[in-house]
Amino acid sequence: MKKGNKLVIVFFIVMVLLSFTNLFNIKYNGEVIKLAGLSVIIGVIAYFVTRKTNNTKNKGFNIKTIFKDFKDHPKAIIFAILPFVTCILSIVIASKFLPEVNEHVNDRISFLDTSKMIQTILILAVSTLGEEIAWRAFFQNKATKYIKFIPALIISSILFAFGHYSAGSTIVVIYDLLFVFIDSSLFGLVFKETDNAWCSWIPHFLADILGVILLLII
């Protein structure tokens, strides 16, 4: 195995392990510490460290080609629209039949001070971009070098979902993570079509903003 490949595997292992840490309810001074977010930082580092092994320097992350990539790949536009639909459905359905879910999500994103909307938008912009670089441009993209696309998409989306795990009742947690998994899969499909994390970032960022707004309204 080449040195570059070994490094990719090491990053894979670290990201996988970190993604599951939230399941163990790790505490420090009585406060729950969520280490899963570190998987994003590791993934971003991994992308830039291993970028020289790509065919081109900006492969998977090129801001200059966003419009062209969407124009050349119409299916990506459809996949990019669907997260807005799932966002609305998940919150509306939960509010009608399982209101605990929306409370659970609000607790999960309590690090956002929604009274300061500009700050919230900036935090979401940075965090979702990091997630797209880590889980799409690096993890999903590199995983397809070892396995077929569908398994790579499913594995990366499962890990992405578990990275958003927050303790709660079983049905509430399953409902929450199911929609995170679905959205992650859609972002992965956008990336598959465009090979550009900027393209998958746009629906991710905007859908998260929509979700925050809906949670404030409902």
pLDDT for residue 115: 87
Q: Residues 88-139: pLDDT tens digits? A: 999 999 999 999 999 999 999 988 888 899 999 999 999 999 999 999 999 9
pLDDT for residue 2: 54
Residue 57 CB neighbour total at 10 angstroms: 9
Q: Which amino acid is at 73?
A: H
Q: What is the mean pLDDT of residues 158-178?
A: 97
Confidence of residue 11 (pLDDT cuts 50, 70, 90): very high
Nearest one of 203, 208, 207, 194 to 66, comparing CA atoms: 194
Q: Is the pTM of this model over 0.85?
A: yes
pLDDT for residue 25: 79
Residues 68, 120: Cα–Cα separation, whole Å: 29
Domains: count for the chain? 1
Domain of 112, in residue numbers: 3-217
Q: Which amino acid is at 97?
A: F
Nearest one of 206, 195, 183, 203 to 68, comparing CA atoms: 195
Compute the mean pLDDT over every residue in the chain, rounded to the nearest whole number. 93
The partner residues of 28 in beta bridges, in order of sequence, read 31
pLDDT for residue 3: 55
Confidence of residue 54 (pLDDT cuts 50, 70, 90): low
